Amino acid sequence: MTPEEEKLTIRDISIAAEAQTKQGDTFYLITQRWWQEWLEYVNQNQANTVNDGSASEHCTGGSSALKRPSSIDNSDLIYEAASGDSSAGIDLHDTLIEGTDYILLPQEVWNQLYEWYRGGPILPRKVINSGLSQTELAVEVYPLRLQLHLMPKDERSTIRISKKETIRQLHKKACEMFSLIPELVCIWDYFNHQKHALMNDMDKMLDDANIQMDQDILVEVANDNSAGGVNSFHENGTADNGTAALVKPSQPNFSNAEGLSLSKGSTRNGTAELSQSQQLASSGTDKTYGSSGVSTRGSACGLTGLLNLGNTCFMNSAIQCLVHTPEFARYFREDYYQEINRQNPLGMVGELALAFGDLLRKLWAPGRTPVAPRPFKAKLARFAPQFSGYNQHDSQELLAFLLDGLHEDLNRVKHKPYIKSKDADGRPDEEVADEYWANHIARNDSIIVDVCQGQYKSTLVCPVCNKVSVTFDPLMYLSLPLQSATSRTMTVTIFTCDGSALPAACTVTVPKQGRCRDLIQALGNSCSLKQNEKLMLAEIRGHLIHRFLEDSLISLSSIKDDDHLAAYKMPKSIKNSKFLQLIHRREEREIGISQSNVGWKPYGTPLVSPICCDDVTTRGDIQLIVHRMLSPMLRAENPGFNCVSRSKTAAAAAANASRLAASSEACVDSSLANDDPRQKDVPSSKLVNLEKLPLQLVDENNACIDLTVGEDKSVKLSSSSVSILVFADWSQKLLENYDTRYIENLPEVTKYGPATKKARTEPLSLYSCLEAFLREEPLVPEDMWYCPTCKERRQASKKLDLWRLPEVLVIHLKRFSYSRSMKHKLETFVNFPIHDFDLTKYVANKNNSRRQLYELYALTNHYGGMGSGHYTAHIKLLDENRWYNFDDSHISPINEEDVKSAAAYVLFYRRVKTDHDHSVSNGTVSSAGQQSISSRK
N- to C-terminal Cα distance for the chain?
77
Q: Which residues contact 556 (CB under 8 A, 6 or more apart)?
A: 488, 490, 510, 511, 512, 513, 514, 515, 516, 518, 519
Residue 226, pLDDT > 50, answer no
Contact between 176 and 109 (Cβ < 8 Å): no
870 is catalytic: yes
CA-CA distance, 845 to 429, in Å (whole number)?
Answer: 8
Residue 85, pLDDT > 50, answer no
Provide mean pLDDT across the span 482-496: 79
Beta bridge partners of 735: none
CA 295 to chain centre: 43
User: How open is the CA angle 759-839-924, to the nearest 5 degrees?
Assistant: 155
Q: List own/partner pairs for 157-160 with CB under 8 A and 24 or more apart.
A: 158/256, 160/91
Q: What is the pLDDT of residue 411?
A: 93
Express each pLDDT in 172-202 by its tens digit. 999 988 889 888 899 988 876 778 788 888 9
Q: Which band of pLDDT confidence, cut at 50, 70 and 90, is reported for residue 245?
A: very low
User: How open is the CA angle 332-337-340, to the nearest 5 degrees?
Assistant: 105
Q: What is the pLDDT of residue 750?
A: 81
Residue 874, pLDDT > 90, answer yes
User: How open is the CA angle 141-146-147, to the nearest 5 degrees?
Assistant: 150
Q: What is the DSSP secondary-structure string of 209-234?
A: TT--TT-EEEEEE--TT-TTGGGGB-
Q: What is the pLDDT of residue 248?
A: 29
* Marked catalytic residue, from 301, 313, 506, 612: 313
Q: What is the pLDDT of residue 797?
A: 81
CA-CA distance, 293 to 6, in Å (whole number)?
Answer: 65
CA-CA distance, 65 to 74, in Å (whole number)?
Answer: 25
CA-CA distance, 482 to 12, in Å (whole number)?
Answer: 37
**How many of the other CB atoms lie within 10 Å of CB of 568?**
24
- Beta strand ranges found along 140-209 (DSSP E): 144-151, 155-161, 185-189, 197-198
Cite the DSSP H helix spans in 26-88: 32-42
CA-CA distance, 310 to 97, in Å (whole number)?
Answer: 9
Cite the DSSP H helix spans in 663-821: 670-673, 732-737, 757-761, 766-774
- Third-level CATH fold of 487-589+598-633+692-743: Ubiquitin-like (UB roll) (3.10.20)
Is it true that domain 3-45+68-81+88-140 has CATH number 3.30.2230.10?
Answer: yes
Reported as half-sphere exposure (CB side, CA atoms, 13 A), residue 781 has a value of 11
Which one-letter DSSP state was computed for residue 797? E
Q: What is the pLDDT of residue 711?
A: 82
Express each pLDDT in 408-460 by its tens digit. 999 999 888 888 877 777 788 899 999 999 999 999 999 999 999 999 999 98
Contact between 294 and 365 (Cβ < 8 Å): yes
Contact between 93 and 102 (Cβ < 8 Å): no
Q: What is the pLDDT of residue 446?
A: 94
Q: Which band of pLDDT confidence, cut at 50, 70 and 90, is reported for residue 818?
A: low
Q: Which amino acid type is present at position 870?
A: H
Q: What is the 3-state secondary structure (H, E, C) of 602-625?
A: ECCCCEEEEEECCCCCEHHHHHHH
Cite the DSSP H helix spans in 663-754: 670-673, 732-737
Provide mean pLDDT across the span 465-478: 90
Rounded to the nearest 10°, the torsion over CA 199, 201, 203, 205 is: -50
For the whole model, what pTM was predicted? 0.48
Residue 468, pLDDT > 80, answer yes
- Percent composition of the chain: helix, strand, coil (DSSP 3-state, to 5): 30, 25, 45
Provide mean pLDDT across the span 67-96: 70
Rounded to the nearest 10°, the torsion over CA 688, 690, 693, 695 is: -20
Provide mean pLDDT across the span 797-815: 92
Q: What residue ranges do the domains of the chain occupy?
A: 3-45+68-81+88-140, 144-221, 317-410, 487-589+598-633+692-743
Task: Check if 3-45+68-81+88-140 and 144-221 are the same fold.
Answer: no
Q: Which amino acid type is present at position 377?
A: K
Closest to 386 (Cα-Cα) out of 462, 314, 473, 290: 314
Q: List own/partner pairs for 328-333 with CB under 8 A and 24 or more apart.
A: 328/360, 328/447, 328/451, 329/302, 329/360, 329/364, 330/293, 331/447, 332/356, 332/357, 332/360, 332/361, 333/289, 333/292, 333/293, 333/294, 333/360, 333/361, 333/364
CA-CA distance, 731 to 708, in Å (whole number)?
Answer: 14
CA-CA distance, 793 to 75, in Å (whole number)?
Answer: 59
CA 357 to chain centre: 31
- Beta strand ranges found along 497-576 (DSSP E): 504-511, 533-541, 544-548, 564-571
Q: What is the pLDDT of residue 677?
A: 35
Give the range among 645-649, 836-840, 843-847 with minimum mean pLDDT: 645-649
Express each pLDDT in 312-360 by its tens digit. 899 999 999 999 999 999 999 888 888 999 888 888 888 999 999 999 9
Q: What is the pLDDT of residue 705?
A: 84
Q: What is the pLDDT of residue 136?
A: 66
Element (H, E) at 457: strand 454-461
Express each pLDDT in 673-726 by its tens digit. 333 333 333 444 445 556 788 888 887 777 888 888 888 888 877 777 778 888
Residue 644, pLDDT > 60, answer no
Helix (H, G, I), strand (E, B) or coil at 821: coil
Higher pLDDT, 348 or 589: 348
Q: What is the pLDDT of residue 75?
A: 86
Contact between 276 and 254 (Cβ < 8 Å): yes
Express each pLDDT in 121-150 by its tens digit. 899 988 887 654 566 678 888 888 888 999
Q: What is the CATH number of domain 144-221?
A: 3.10.20.90
CA 375 to chain centre: 28
Residue 657, pLDDT > 80, answer no
Closest to 293 (Cα-Cα) out of 325, 328, 334: 334
Q: How far is CA 753 from CA 246, 511, 825, 827, in A?
A: 60, 21, 9, 9
Q: Which amino acid type is present at position 740?
A: T
Q: What is the DSSP secondary-structure string of 351-397?
A: HHHHHHHHHHHHHHSSS-PPB--HHHHHHHHHH-GGG-TTS---HHH
Bridge-based pairing of strands 723-730 and 577-589 is parallel
Handedness of CA 161, 164, 166, 167 (dihedral sign): positive
Q: Tell me what the pLDDT averaged over the chain comes to.
A: 75
Q: What is the pLDDT of residue 636?
A: 72
CA-CA distance, 494 to 677, in Å (whole number)?
Answer: 29
313 is catalytic: yes
